Chains A and B, each alone.
Chain A
Amino acid sequence: GESVGLHLPTLSVQEGDNSIINCAYSNSASDYFIWYKQESGKGPQFIIDIRSNMDKRQGQRVTVLLNKTVKHLSLQIAATQPGDSAVYFCAEAPERNTPLVFGKGTRLSVIA
């Protein structure tokens, strides 16, 4: 849990502000992407996913944007709350029937 956060990039955001967490993926052939949230001492939790035939997908307070040209994925969290404090990972599916590849993550710290 808490030891996972060592050496990670950190984003500090004021409560109520919007957060943007970025992820660069490696394989231009990847066509499925997922964002996970991991709270201290817990397993990663699915937030939202997007397939490569889309540029944007919205969930509850979260939006994922996909830019295939520059192989970039972002997660936007609206009106960030203290409960959003966690490590966020992106994952990509390089090709069908191969396991996901995970990024190292970004720690989001919400300042009350």
Chain B
Amino acid sequence: DAGITQSPRHKVTETGTPVTLRCHQTENHRYMYWYRQDPGHGLRLIHYSYGVKDTDKGEVSDGYSVSRSKTEDFLLTLESATSSQTSVYFCAISESSGQETQYFGPGTRLLVL
């Protein structure tokens, strides 16, 4: 998984609670991404980062926030989890955006009850 780890790998939580997922890379890549993957939708971009403290929204950013205080870590927070946020979450990295390959982590399976 190209030096990318995600934690936790599995989580069950209750509606209304905050949840933070962590992505850690050892590749020193500038760009980091958070996606969710659901049946019938493929990979949908939540947020991405193009450097420390530099982030931007993706197509499904509502209900999510991110932070990147170090090159190697990108955090995804569900401020108040809802059942619609039950999904598999993938982190990805790339040296640059657009014209470069993205490499994916192993995923976090989140269940919101």
How many residues from B make CB contacts under 8 Å with A?
24
Contact A3 B39 (CB under 8 A): yes
Q: Report the tally of A-B residue pairs with Cβ distances under 8 A.
A: 64
CB distance from B81 to the nearest CB of A (A): 19
| Residues in A neighbouring B77, C-beta threshold 8 A | none
The one of A3, A45, A93 that contacts B104, using a Cβ cutoff of 8 Å: A45
> Which chain B residue shows the least CB distance to A100?
B102
Chain B, interface SS category:
loop
Chain A residues contacting B58 (CB-CB under 8 Å) are 99
Q: Which of A36, A42, A91, A100 contacts B107 (CB 8 A)?
A: A42
- By a CB distance below 8 angstroms, the chain B residues around A46 are 101, 103
Determine the residue in chain A with the shortest Cβ distance to B40: A7
A105–B43 CA distance with the chains assembled, in angstroms: 9
Per the bound structure, the CA–CA distance linking A7 and B45 in Å amounts to: 20
Tell whether, in the assembled complex, residue B90 and residue A96 are in contact, meaning their CB atoms are under 8 Å apart: no
